[in-house]
A and B are shown apart, each in its own frame.
Chain A
Amino acid sequence: GENVEQHPSTLSVQEGDSAVIKCTYSDSASNYFPWYKQELGKGPQLIIDIRSNVGEKKDQRIAVTLNKTAKHFSLHITETQPEDSAVYFCAAILYSSASKIIFGSGTRLSIRP
Chain B
Amino acid sequence: GAVVSQHPSWVICKSGTSVKIECRSLDFQATTMFWYRQFPKQSLMLMATSNEGSKATYEQGVEKDKFLINHASLTLSTLTVTSAHPEDSSFYICSAKSGQGASEQYFGPGTRLTVT
Chain A interface (Cβ < 8 Å from any Cβ of B): 31-32, 34, 36, 41-46, 49, 51, 89, 93-95, 97-106
Question: Can you name the residue of chain B whose Cβ is closest to the Cβ of A43?
Answer: B107
Other-chain residue from B45, B107, B112 in contact with A41 (beta carbon distance below 8 A): B112
Beyond the given pairs A100-B46, A103-B43, 20 more chain A to chain B contacts, judged by CB atoms under 8 angstroms and listed by A's residue number, are A32-B102, A34-B104, A34-B105, A41-B112, A43-B4, A43-B108, A45-B107, A46-B106, A46-B107, A89-B43, A93-B102, A95-B102, A98-B57, A99-B100, A99-B102, A99-B103, A99-B105, A100-B49, A101-B46, A103-B44
Residues of chain B within 8 A (CB-CB) of A94 are: 102
Residues of chain B within 8 A (CB-CB) of A45 are: 107
In contact, A97 and B93 (Cβ under 8 angstroms): no
Known A43-B93, A45-B107; contact A105-B43, beta-carbon cutoff 8 A: yes
* Total of A-B residue pairs, C-beta within 8 Å: 60
Known A43-B110, A101-B34; contact A89-B102, beta-carbon cutoff 8 A: no
Number of interface residues of B (CB under 8 A): 26
Chain B interface (Cβ < 8 Å from any Cβ of A): 4, 6, 32, 34, 42-46, 49, 57, 93, 95, 97, 100-110, 112
- Within the assembled complex, what's the spacing in Å between the Cα atoms of A93 and B100? 12
6 A-B pairs closest in CB distance: A32-B102, A43-B107, A93-B102, A43-B110, A103-B43, A43-B109
- Within the assembled complex, what's the spacing in Å between the Cα atoms of A36 and B110? 14
Nearest-CB distance from B92 to chain A (Å)? Answer: 10
- Within the assembled complex, what's the spacing in Å between the Cα atoms of A42 and B49? 21
Q: Could you show 20 A-B contacts with beta carbons less than 8 Å apart? A: A31-B102, A32-B102, A32-B103, A34-B105, A43-B93, A43-B109, A43-B110, A44-B93, A51-B102, A98-B32, A98-B49, A98-B57, A99-B97, A99-B101, A101-B34, A101-B44, A101-B95, A103-B44, A103-B45, A106-B42
